[in-house]
């Protein structure tokens, strides 16, 4: 029997321990705590997280699955071009926002692609993020301070990790940063421009308070973009007075931020680890391995990796496309003085 979207969803129910939505009643009943609204109170921009099937047919056949962090129109086009039937996205999916400004129904329906999202339903299931950064969490709170998604891990460093420098060395090895740097250098050479950066190599691990030789034992592992505040840090330090280090991952704090200032005040070191563009290794890759174990061997699973490149405008594109851009800008987009009337 060929695998179907229903089989993948069933596997995810098992993988997440029942956190996935399997019926529409779960959306509004309050029975599933992982169905949550996310909002910055910007009018019209809130989104409901729905861990489960967002679009598609449960009975649709599945031959190839793509695991991604964030759905974009580039993902949809790559999926269509390479025979992907189902995309499993970590981050929540919003109509038009994740599909090139058009409706999900029209875009995904055009190519016969189904989409499943997980996000908060996947968080806290495994110790991967702490393991990658060299500690073992003995406390995991995915709604610290009562805020859904505000994550705090507290952990003891693994054997062999004694300093902040050891954490950075471990990260560079696990993320294969030496090869990533070679890729980046090749791109600079091909473009003939040294001022090119990318989202993988530009945001590497960094020590904000302390030195590579600073000792580390107990870690307060935080995610600044989830709403973790200096007040939360002070509370966490009171709850765990033995903590000596703040580890910020997925997002990071600026050196002059209030969060870093609070760490200094509390006598804590502060180190930034992996950024969001590397989360595919932490969450996406283990998820792909897990899904594969539930499905027939002939089902192919691929990883869609995110890597954004920054290129100075004068260096991007062929000479003809540069001429095109200049022509369009000059003749259609730039308002001349005196034209306002």
User: CATH number for the domain including 63?
Assistant: 3.40.1390.30
**Which two three-digit tokens encode residue 23?**
């019926």
What is the predicted pLDDT for the residue at 139? 95
Given a cut of 80, is residue 213 above it in pLDDT? yes
Specify the pLDDT at position 339.
62
- Please tell me whether residues 112 and 218 are part of one structural domain: no
Question: What is the per-residue pLDDT for 31?
Answer: 84
What residues pair up with 271 in beta bridges, in sequence order? 207, 247
The residue among 131, 182, 187, 181 whose CA lies nearest residue 159 is 131
What is the average per-residue pLDDT within 24-48? 87
Q: Residues 49-93: pLDDT tens digits?
A: 999 999 999 999 999 999 999 999 999 999 999 999 999 999 999
For the cut 60, the answer to whether the pLDDT of residue 341 exceeds it is: no
| Same domain, residue pair 109 and 140 | no
101-141 residue pLDDT tens: 999 999 999 999 999 999 989 988 999 999 999 999 999 99
Top-confidence residue, 337 or 25: 25
- CB neighbours (10 Å) of residue 112? 14
Closest CA to 121 of 304, 287, 288, 301: 287
30: left (phi over 0), alpha (psi -120 to 50) or beta: left
Residue-wise pLDDT for 308-329, tens only, equals: 999 999 999 999 999 999 999 9
pLDDT band at 166 (very low <50, low <70, confident <90, very high): very high
What pLDDT score was predicted for residue 6?
A: 96
Q: What is the pLDDT of residues 254-298, one digit of tens each?
A: 999 999 999 999 999 999 999 999 999 999 999 999 999 999 999
| Cα 287-290-293 angle, rounded to 5 deg | 150
Whether residues 155 and 242 fall in one domain: yes
- Rounded to the nearest integer, the mean pLDDT of the chain is 94
pLDDT for the residue numbered 271? 98
* Number of domains composing the chain: 2
Looking at the fold, whether 86 and 169 belong to one and the same domain comes out as no
Specify whether 149 is located in the same domain as 114: no
Query: Are 15 and 152 contained in the same domain?
Result: no
Residue 336, pLDDT above cutoff 70: yes
Strands (E), the chain: 37-38, 47-48, 52-55, 64-68, 86-89, 114-117, 135-141, 152-157, 197-198, 206-209, 218-222, 245-250, 269-275, 300-303, 309-310
Domain carrying residue 19: 5-122
Asked whether residue 28 falls in the same domain as residue 77, the answer is yes
How many other C-beta atoms can be found within 10 angstroms of the C-beta atom of residue 179?
9
Q: At what angle do helices 5-15 and 285-294 cross, to 10 degrees?
A: 120
* pLDDT value for 148: 82
CATH classification of the domain holding 186: 3.40.1390
Whether residue 334 lies inside any domain: the answer is no
Where is the domain boundary, 96, 122, 148? 122
* pLDDT score at 196: 96
Q: Are residues 132 and 78 in the same domain?
A: no
Residue 115 and residue 64 in one domain: yes
How many CB atoms lie under 10 A from the CB of residue 39?
A: 11
Burial class (CB in 10 A: 0-12, 13-18, 19+), 316: middle
| Long-range contacts (CB closer than 8 Å, 24 or more residues apart) made by 172-176 | 172/204, 172/205, 174/132, 174/281, 175/274, 175/278, 175/281
Residue 320 class from Cβ within 10 Å (0-12 exposed, 13-18 middle, 19+ buried)?
A: exposed
Say if CB 68 and CB 87 are below 8 A apart: yes
Residues 182 and 256 in one domain: yes
Clarify whether residues 55 and 146 are in a common domain: no
What letter would DSSP give residue 225? G
Q: Which of 276, 297, 323 is the last residue of a domain?
A: 276
């Amino acid at each position: 029997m060929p695998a179907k979207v229903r089989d993948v969803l069933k596997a995810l129910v098992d993988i997440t321990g029942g956190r996935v939505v399997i019926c529409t009643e779960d959306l509004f009943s309050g029975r599933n705590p992982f169905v949550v609204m996310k909002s910055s109170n910007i009018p019209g921009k809130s989104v409901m997280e729905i861990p489960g099937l967002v679009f598609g047919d449960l009975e649709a056949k599945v031959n190839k699955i793509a695991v991604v962090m964030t759905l974009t129109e580039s993902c949809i086009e790559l999926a269509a071009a390479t025979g992907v039937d189902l995309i499993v996205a970590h981050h929540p999916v919003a109509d038009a926002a994740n599909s090139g400004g058009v409706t999900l129904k029209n875009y995904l329906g055009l190519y016969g692609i189904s989409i499943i999202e997980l996000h908060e339903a996947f968080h806290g299931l495994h110790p991967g993020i702490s393991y990658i950064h060299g500690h073992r969490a003995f406390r995991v709170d995915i709604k610290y301070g009562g805020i859904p998604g505000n994550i705090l891990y507290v952990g003891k460093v693994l054997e062999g990790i004694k300093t902040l420098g050891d954490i950075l060395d471990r990260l560079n090895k696990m993320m294969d940063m030496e090869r990533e740097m070679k890729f980046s250098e090749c791109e600079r050479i091909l473009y003939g421009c040294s001022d090119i950066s990318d989202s993988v190599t530009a945001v590497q691990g960094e020590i904000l308070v302390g030195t590579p030789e600073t000792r580390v034992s107990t870690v307060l592992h935080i995610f600044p973009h989830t709403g973790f505040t200096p007040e939360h840090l002070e509370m966490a330090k009171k709850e765990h007075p033995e903590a000596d280090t703040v580890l910020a991952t997925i997002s990071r704090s600026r050196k002059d931020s209030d969060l870093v200032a609070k760490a200094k005040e509390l006598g804590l070191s502060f180190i930034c680890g992996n950024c969001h563009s590397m989360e595919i290794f932490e969450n996406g890759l283990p998820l792909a391995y897990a899904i594969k174990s539930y499905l027939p061997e002939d089902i192919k699973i691929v990883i869609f990796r995110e890597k954004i490149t920054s290129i100075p405008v004068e260096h991007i594109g062929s000479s003809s496309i540069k001429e095109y851009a200049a022509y369009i800008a000059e003749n259609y987009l730039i308002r001349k003085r005196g034209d306002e009337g």
